[in-house]
Structure 1
Amino acid sequence: MNRFPFTSLSPDLQARAAAIRLLCLDVDGTLTDGRLYLDEQGCESKAFHVHDGQGMVLLRRAGIDVVLITARHSPVAHRRGQELGIAVMDGVKDKLSQVQALAAEQGLTLSQVAFMGDDLADLPSLRAVGLALAPADAHPWTAQSAHWQSTANGGQGAVREACDLILAAQGRVEEFFDGSRS
């Protein structure tokens, strides 16, 4: 078993991932499988993968900020973000403007920002950032704009793979193997 799956990154992908200081994530279809569960009262539920949560926590511990950005108003996404200590921006109609504002607030250039998304609303952000990421099951029109695509589908560990990629490119993987920081 290969303990470090990202040992043979292309030089371009290595450089892009090494520069990342902020990861912005779409929610529906990226952190979830894209299905929306609504009960008879209209209450929404979603499933989140624990591996994705762990990946986001590891990135934060490595000094990389993580923000969830979704077009939907989502109390469920806010709850997940609260559990992980991650900011959630919901009801965002223009994700690129939100990404640009977050980068500016942190004094970052867009080359220091990664964005992971799965569908057309994510394209402007994917095309603007330094590292464009997509889950394995992203819509083909979206996937073609990604610098990297996970092997896992959205909601099934795709975000964890992206987090691991960034950590590996920055040489930060080994520090998490002793168990004291996970």
Structure 2
Amino acid sequence: MISKEQLKQVKLVAFDFDGVFTDNRVITAQDGTESVTCWRSDGIGIARIIKLGIKVVIVSTETNPVVGARAAKLKIPSIQSVEDKAGAILEICFQHGILPENAMFVGNDINDIPAFLSIGIPIGVADSYPEIYPHILFKTEKPGGFGAVREICDILYNAQTADK
């Protein structure tokens, strides 16, 4: 479980994309282009925590224009083709002077385990694969692609503004 004190210390949230922003499904057209669906109100949640000074980034193993397009729409950076998510997140922490224990990573699958182990607050979405459960502190009530990102943002926003 995550304490309110831990949530108050979060300075960076890194999100996986597929299965977190999306419901893990992909629509592939005959020309090979791919489409996904995302939860529109995730953007409001992200905007609110950015206003608090929390850095937000998408870190994805995939290389897909849809990731960059969604990130651009949300006005957040995305890093794609990442084989070592832990290393990427730690580099982001270093670049911004953020201690890894004040970083959160939200993922859903076994390729996220090294990232979970590298930071202070590992989170899984409701429909995560069970293999990640031993490596996360919290699981959202909402599944990926159906408001899990917004849920995390709201939890952070409420914790960091509760005493203000």
TM range (shorter): over 0.9
Match of 1:122 among 93, 112, 121: 112
Partner of 1:149: 139
TM-score (norm 1): 0.86
Task: Give the percent of matched residue pairs that are identical in Structure 1 and Structure 2.
Answer: 28
Aligned length: 164
| 1:77 equivalenced with 2:41 (yes/no) | no
Matched to 2:25, the amino acid is R
Query: CA offsets, 1:107-162, max 9 Å, x none?
Result: 11101110000001111111221111111000011133211111000000011111
| Segments ≥4 residues shifted beyond 6 Å | none
Identify the residue that residue 177 of structure 1 maps to in structure 2.
Answer: none
Pairwise CA distance, 1:172: 5.5
> In the alignment, is the contact (CA less than 8 A) between 2:100 and 2:120 conserved in 1?
yes
SS of 1:24's equivalent in the other structure is strand
* Residue in structure 2 matched with residue 3 of structure 1 by the alignment: none
Give the letter aligned to residue 52 of structure 2: A
CA separation of 1:135 and 1:163: change in aligned 2, threshold 3 A: same
CA shift, 1:84, in A, is: 1.2
TM-score normalized with structure 2 length: 0.95
- 2:56 corresponds to 1:66: yes
Q: Is the contact made by 2:42 and 2:150 (CA closer than 8 Å) also made in structure 1?
A: yes
- Specify the alignment match of 1:137 in structure 2: 127
CA distance in 1, matches of 2:83, 2:23: 21
Task: Supply the AA of the counterpart residue of 2:109.
Answer: D
Q: Could you list the runs of 5+ residues in structure 2 that have no partner in the other structure?
A: none
Q: 1:42 to 1:150 in 2, by over 3 A?
A: same
Correspondent of 2:14 among 24, 41, 44: 24
Residue 57 of structure 2 aligns to a residue whose secondary structure is strand
The two structures, once aligned, show a CA RMSD in angstroms of 1.5
Distance 1:168 1:143 in 2: 25
Q: Which runs of 5+ in 1 are unaligned?
A: 1-9, 175-182
Larger radius of gyration: 1
